[in-house]
Structures are given as C-alpha cells and as structure tokens.
Amino acid sequence: MRLHVQIGVPNPGDVSLDAIASCFPYGTLLPIVVEKGGLLGSSRAGLPADEPVEAHMTVACCCVTVGWGVPVGWDSPAGYLEAEEAEVKRDDETAAFDKQAEASAILNKEAGASALEAVPATTVADETLEPTVASTPSTTPTRAEMTPGSPEMRARAALVQKRWASRVLTPYEAFKLLGDEDAIEVYDVRTSEQAANHEINGCKGTTVLGAKSLPLDDIVSGMVDVPPSELPIILVCSRGPKSLVALDYLAEACPKAVCIEGGITAWDVAKLPTQSVRGQ
C-alpha cells in the first residue's frame, strides 16, 4: 500500500527522511519517496480582499510517498530499530501474560469447583470471592490489579485489550473523537500521587489536555460516583494498563467509555496537547 501526503515544512529544499518519519510514530508506515518543493495554501486572517493569491501561498511543503516497511538502501532514523525491537518485546510479554492469565483461569476454575463442593450450600452465598486475573467484565479490580506495574494489573490489562479491542483507541482516534463529540469527558484514572510522580517521556505531572481526575481506586471504594451511562468518556493513565482495567470495570455501566492505547505516554509521543496535572 502507498499513500501520497503533503506536509508543511519550513524549508522544502532541505527535507530529511528522519524528520518525515517522526510524523508517523505508529506502525511501519514510513516515507519511501520525498519530492521537494511546492507551496501549500494557508488561510491567514485579516488579509485585504484585493491581496494577490500568491500572498496566501505562504507555507512551503513537500510531497511524501509513504508505504509499508523500510525503503531499500535507507538508513532508518535514530531509535527506529530500537523501537521496533521494543514493540516485538512488548508483543512477547503480552503473549506471556495471556498464557499466564489462561493458566490462572483454569487453576482458579478447578480450585473454585473443589472449594464449592467442600463448603455447605448455605454459606456459599455469604462468601465474597476475591477477583482473579480471569475476571469478567464489571468484576471489581483487586488492589493488586490497580497497582501500576504489578503482574496482576498487566495480566488483566492483556485480557481486556482483547475483550474490548474495539474500545481501545490510538491517540489520533481518541483526538478525533474529542472533536466529533459535543459532550465528552477525558478522565485520568490514576491516583493524585501517581499522576504527580509518574514520568511521561521524562516529565512528571503530565496528563491529557482537559482531563479530569477520576481515580479508579476511588470509584472502586465508592468515594466517587461512576460517570453517567449516557456520557462518552475517554479513560487515560500513564502507559495504558490501568485505564484498561478501568475500562473493564466500567464497560457495562458506561457503554460509551473508551481508553487510549499506550496511555498519556503515547498521546504525548503523538504530539497531541497535554497539561500539568495541577490544571485538572
């Protein structure tokens, strides 16, 4: 597949593939041909009505042909191979967590069946069963499943990513949704401490522009209410797993809830607007 794209640049006579590649941070869609030169029309406000047309053509551009894979004879931009290797590593880790989750589900099912046989029927209804990594939608997350970096959180997140695949958006898809919906909220599901201390691409205290604080921990404890069911919401966290757990918990109560793959980190890499958590 190939696609022709016009990109505004300050100097079309000196365009680097590295710079163009940075415009496509996801997947392997990369520039394979760069045709320099040309002008891209701008819409500057306040120009006199009799201003010549040339005055509107103020932004230089280049035409880029992009396609799948790395072009022959091209030295990939700094960090590309490392990012590709990291993506493969993440896929391997996700597969490992999937296997762990499936194994845990089988063990839990067998253990649960044995336990039920040994417990009198009159007491089963009074027992509060602890959620496991094989949780179903709306199952209350355990403390471990809400702890960033824990195996339990990552295992449940891996399951959720498959369970609610259609509701896990890329940063650009989420940004488009913000523009398409009249009434929509972005909720940061991290605790205030996590929001203040987690590093987002080297900076602490960063979140999506316009995001409101709605910690998953507080929803689970009952300290705050679940968002209205009719409200479209975007759930975010630092790197994605916690918002996936939140999506799983809220998916049925909030049918218009989605989350961002890669969390605020991916949003920031995509050069989309952010703010300090102090602005929440």
pLDDT of 139-183, one tens digit each?
Answer: 899 999 999 999 999 999 999 999 999 999 999 999 999 989 889
Task: Tally the residues of the chain.
Answer: 280
Is 252 among the domain residues?
Answer: yes
Q: Looking at the structure, tell me whether residues 157 and 252 fall in a common domain.
A: yes
Q: Looking at the structure, tell me whether residues 144 and 257 fall in a common domain.
A: yes
d(CA 40, CA 50): 20
- Going by C-alpha positions, the residue among 166, 139, 141 that lies closest to residue 241 is 141
Question: Environment class of residue 222 by beta-carbon count within 10 Å: exposed (0-12), middle (13-18) or buried (19+)?
Answer: exposed
pLDDT digits (tens, 9 = 90+) for 6-44: 666 656 566 666 666 666 554 455 555 566 554 444 333
Give the predicted TM-score (pTM) of the model.
0.54
Q: Note down the domain range covering 231.
A: 138-279
Q: Residue 150 gets which letter from DSSP?
A: -
Q: In Å, how far are 20, 30, 50 from 40, measured between CA atoms?
A: 16, 22, 20
- Going by C-alpha positions, the residue among 22, 174, 31 that lies closest to residue 83 is 22
Q: Looking at the structure, tell me whether residues 67 and 163 fall in a common domain.
A: no
d(CA 61, CA 4): 13
Is 125 among the domain residues?
Answer: no
CA dihedral 233, 136, 129, 235 (to 10 degrees): -20
Is 100 among the domain residues?
Answer: no
CATH code for the domain in which residue 158 is found: 3.40.250.10
Domains: count for the chain: 2
Is 253 among the domain residues?
Answer: yes
Is 99 among the domain residues?
Answer: no
Q: Looking at the structure, tell me whether residues 158 and 57 fall in a common domain.
A: no
Q: Three-state SS for 205?
A: coil
Q: Looking at the structure, tell me whether residues 57 and 169 fall in a common domain.
A: no
